[in-house]
Structure 1
Amino acid sequence: MLRAVLNLQRSATPLRRAFSTPSFATEGERTIYEKLSKALSPEILAVSDVSGGCGSMYRVHIGATAFRGLNLVRQHRKVNEILKDDIAGMHGLQLETFVPQSEEY
Structure 2
Amino acid sequence: MFGLSRAVTRCATATPSLLRFFSAEEKMRDAILSGFSEDTFVEVKDISGGCGSMYAIEVESLDFKGVSKVKQSRMVNDLIKKEIGEMHGLTLKTRVPK
Alignment TM-score > 0.5, same fold: yes
CA distance in 1, matches of 2:76, 2:34: 12
Q: Secondary structure at the match of 2:52?
A: coil
Which consecutive segments of 4 or more residues in structure 1 shift more than 3 A? none
Alpha-carbon distance, 1:51 to partner: 0.8
Alignment partner, residue 36 of structure 1: 32
Matches for 1:16-55 after TM superposition, within 5 Å? 26-41=22-37, 42-55=39-52
CA distance in 1, matches of 2:40, 2:77: 19
Q: Secondary structure at the match of 1:59?
A: strand
Unaligned runs of 5+ in 2: 1-20
Residues 1:67 and 2:59 are matched in the alignment: no
CA distance in 2, matches of 1:69, 1:93: 24
Contact 1:87-1:93 within 8 A present in 2 as well: yes
Query: What TM-score, normalized to structure 2?
Result: 0.72
Unaligned runs of 5+ in 1: 1-24
Contact 1:28-1:49 within 8 A present in 2 as well: no
Q: How many residues align?
A: 77
Contact 2:44-2:57 within 8 A present in 1 as well: yes
Cα distance per residue 1:46-85 (max 9 Å; x no partner): 1100011211111011101111111111101111111111
- How many percent of aligned residue pairs carry the same amino acid? 38
Q: What is the letter of the counterpart of residue 93 of structure 1?
A: L
Q: What is the letter of the counterpart of residue 62 of structure 2?
A: T
Contact 2:36-2:63 within 8 A present in 1 as well: yes
Alpha-carbon distance, 1:40 to partner: 1.2
